[in-house]
Structure 1
């Protein structure tokens, strides 16, 4: 029998600037940026982050993924010098790597505090939930370098907050606070800095309580219909609903509701 090996497997042997923690009891995996004080994200690190998200997506121990960082700053952005050293082919993959949280079928939470700039902001935008500390400052400062965001930042931001606010952030390299991000509908929640970990743990526990298959379906449906027409979105929603109708989890949910007990979902 032929043994298959991923050509990029070697990239996972020595993680550059971050680590992975798995708590099987809580069904939680943490990807922790760990290059203090500013947790700058290197070019090789982007490739590794993509592979880690893909690996965790296949890990049966994990239901929810948290992207967080050591210290008082989430990330001040990418390795500036690395952009000049990278090949055009590598640079062309930046957005694909950073979009890994969005492609992941499982819920992904970004826990942001302090500087969340450049690629740090972009990868947070690719997550499903952004929990912001009051210390958080979001920014896409590439204009100061004679560049534009290159990993999906301006595109994702515009979808979320509109063209006027996106031009204000991108074209002026303007910082916005965690509170303002929440007011704009960009952050899911804004909390005191000392409460960020508790808020993250609470959201993980809440998400784990839902049906895995229903959650995966909801995430994919919402992502797939973001650019679709209303009629096409409703049609696709109906097909997804119909498919879940025959799932064991839906039957369990209905029986638990009528039995006035907590459901036990198994993801099938």
Structure 2
């Protein structure tokens, strides 16, 4: 495992079903699910993933985070037996752990092929960008177990596609393809299976080309105003715009534009 430092917690030497790769030269960190063949995500792993996202958020080497998996499938979901063994208090923390990508101030990309079910889908929904392939299948199959999604899946999905499509997916445990997810606005892009890594690399490099400060500001603003009335959202957007006007990155961006050169953003 790549060395990570969390400001308040210590990560174990061996992570449960995933590992972390950091490439300082590309300012990129990859969280890689690796419990083949289906990359089942354990209860313990959910808490470790939350701590990992928090550690990477504080890591100055990292600009962009990628959540991906080894093998043919992103994840078939959670460890079913673990739900029966977990205490009610532990279960109550699941949604907070799975929402870690959304709370992270840095851009987070989920890159998925094959099965992306249950908590795997919920983790993807908490990310900022979702890249899928033609082989990808999204699903929230909890109805088949006599349950409902418990980590934000139905709530986040309803914001994206509306109540009718969400009921169709949740109440029928319906699977939707990567192509359909893209057409419905759930996935950012759908690419051929062999091109997922190339598309992920390209998006990482594109995001790195922007001001880190402007990226953090945009993500927080959009998250904070998702449920706001239009007038409040416009007001908050104006305050954020005003603050960025005094930043060194905005000055650099304007000077680079007029000089017809590539800006060298510092995040200040």
TM-score normalised according to structure 1 size: 0.97
Residue-by-residue CA offset, 1:191-246 (whole Å, 9 max, x unaligned): 00000000000000000000000000000000000000000000000000000000
Residue-by-residue CA offset, 1:76-108 (whole Å, 9 max, x unaligned): 000000000000000000000000000000000
| Aligned: 1:40 with 2:40 | yes
Cα pair 1:53 1:100 within 8 Å, conserved: yes
Unpaired runs of at least 5, structure 1: none
Unpaired runs of at least 5, structure 2: 1-5
| Aligned: 1:245 with 2:245 | yes
Residue-by-residue CA offset, 1:9-64 (whole Å, 9 max, x unaligned): 2x433200000000000000000000000000000000000000000000000000
The equivalent residue for 2:3 is: none
Q: Matches of residues 151-190 of structure 1 in structure 2 within 5 Å?
A: 151-190=151-190
CA distance in 1, matches of 2:37, 2:113: 13
CA distance in 1, matches of 2:210, 2:242: 18
CA distance in 2, matches of 1:28, 1:5: 20
Aligned pairs, how many? 263
The equivalent residue for 1:87 is: 87
CA distance in 2, matches of 1:22, 1:266: 20
SS in 1 for 2:26: coil
SS in 1 for 2:19: strand
CA distance in 1, matches of 2:119, 2:82: 13
SS in 1 for 2:266: coil
The equivalent residue for 2:120 is: 120
Q: Give the C-alpha shift of residue 164 in structure 1.
A: 0.2
Q: Give the C-alpha shift of residue 5 in structure 1.
A: 7.6
Residue-by-residue CA offset, 1:107-148 (whole Å, 9 max, x unaligned): 000001000000000000000000001100000000000000
SS in 2 for 1:67: strand
The equivalent residue for 1:144 is: 144
Moved over 4 A (4+): none
Q: Matches of residues 1-268 of structure 1 in structure 2 within 5 Å?
A: 6=8, 8-9=9-10, 11-268=11-268
Cα pair 1:12 1:51 within 8 Å, conserved: no
TM-score normalised according to structure 2 size: 0.97
